[in-house]
Amino acid sequence: MAKIFCIANQKGGVGKTTTCVNLAAGLARIGQRVLLIDLDPQGNATMGSGVNKRELELSVYDVLLGEATVAEAAVAAEACGYRVLGANRELAGAEVELVSLEQREQRLKQALAAVAADYDFVLIDCPPSLSLLTLNGLCAANGVIVPMQCEYFALEGVSDLVNTIKQVRANLNRELKVIGLLRVMFDARTMLQKQVSDQLFEHFGDEVFQTVIPRNVRLAEAPSYGLPGVVFDPSAKGSKAFVEFAREMVERIQTL
Ligand code: ADP
Ligand code: MG
């Protein structure tokens, strides 16, 4: 049975999409069967996996509206070793169309039931807001992976997200938990980042992943080639860190 994780943080530009495509590629590299779901109408995770969002015949939009199954709409990200349920601007309209549907927060969960046996991991890239799209992700998931930069206001942002997750757990998905906080774009030379990192461990203990993703230009360059860094340049420091993170995830799900 697939384990399903949302990559979420209500802030934009914190590394959600980078984490999603590179964790997917890292997991594929160590032999896991992975489906990546792009829930962001910007379609960055789709493009970053080498799938052209403008040429999608079916997307997560069609799945949410019940017009296609996941199996029909998912495509292979050939170079990356995983499959993608893509998104494009059409998805922005789904927000409005979903409102009138029954069980509107549970549409993705229901659609995923049919492919649970086909994958080990389903990774969902969420948009930077608490929209009906994000709620569909959180309702479908076993847990949430929170990428974060170790900056001054980071702890506050994480507390907000943890509260949101508590509310979703109380009302919509009893199973949902924070799987872990992932420190990304980390620069060990910065005193402040080290301090915030120490505070994170004080507040969240074991919920902080051991793996740290360094700031690494190869990870930032890779999307323009339509590839995750892990595939674009496996020897880069950032890529190695994501493969390490994939191993940590495989270990962590044993305890779920
Ligand atoms: P989000 O999906 O949260 O909006 P992105 O994953 O798109 O964030 O990342 C925001 C920007 O930061 C992108 O330009 C991305 O290439 C860059 N970036 C993300 N992680 C790293 C990293 N570890 N090192 C360098 N650049 C990074
Ligand atoms: Mg993104």
Most informative mutation of 10, 17, 18 for ligand 1 (most atoms within 8 A of CB)? 18
The tokens for 87 are: 């998104």
Which ligand lies nearest to the CA atom of residue 23 in the structure? 1
**Any ligand 1 atom below 6 A from CB of 12:** yes
Q: Side-chain half-sphere of 152: how many Cα atoms within 13 Å? A: 0
Q: Which residues contact 213 (CB under 8 A, 6 or more apart)?
A: 15, 19, 147, 182, 183, 184, 185, 186, 219, 238, 241, 242, 245
pTM for this one?
Answer: 0.97
On whether the CB atoms of residues 140 and 174 are closer than 8 A, the answer is: no
CA distance 25 to 22: 5
The number of helix segments (H) and strand segments (E) in the chain equals: 12, 8
Is the predicted pLDDT of residue 160 greater than 90, yes or no?
no
Spacing, Cα 15 to ligand 1 middle (Å): 4
* Interior/surface letters 71-91, b for 16+ CB within 10 angstroms, e for the rest: eebbbebeebbbbbbbbbeeb
* Cβ atoms 26, 163 nearer than 8 A: no
How many CB atoms are located within 10 Å of the residue 234 CB? 15
DSSP designation for 53: G
ipTM value, please give it: 0.99
Alpha carbon of 237 to ligand 1 centroid (Å): 15
The CB density around residue 140, as the number of other CB atoms within 10 Å, is 25
pLDDT confidence of residue 239: 98
**In the predicted model, what is the mean pLDDT of residues 231-248?**
98
Ligand nearest the Cα of residue 16 is 1
**Does residue 252 register a pLDDT over 90?**
yes
Q: Which protein residue has the closest C-alpha to ligand 1 atom 5? A: 15
Whether the predicted pLDDT of 51 surpasses 90: yes
Ligand 1: distance of its center to the CA of 117 in Å? 31
pLDDT in tens, 73-108: 999 999 999 999 999 999 999 989 999 998 999 999
Are the C-beta atoms of 238 and 229 separated by less than 8 Å? yes
| Structure token digits, residue 109 | 């969960």
pLDDT, the chain, mean: 96
Residue from 169, 85, 93 nearest 131 by CA: 93
Q: In the structure encoding, which two tokens stand for residue 219, read together?
A: 């990870």
Query: Could you give all domains of the chain from N- to C-terminal order, each with its CATH number?
Result: 3-253 (3.40.50.300)
Quote the CA–CA distance of 79 and 230 in Å, as a whole number: 11
Q: Looking at residue 114, what is its pLDDT?
A: 98
Task: Tell me the pLDDT tens digit for each residue of 179-231.
Answer: 999 999 999 889 999 999 999 999 999 999 999 999 999 999 999 999 999 99
17 CA to centre of ligand 2 in angstroms: 4
Distance 220 CA to ligand 1 centre (A): 6
Block residue for tokens 């595939």: 231
Is 183 near ligand 1, meaning CB less than 6 Å away?
no
User: Which residues fall within 8 angstroms of residue 239, CB to CB, at 6 or more apart?
Assistant: 22, 216, 218, 219, 229, 230, 232, 233
Tokens of 206: 């074991």
Query: What residue owns the CA closest to ligand 1's atom 14?
Result: 220
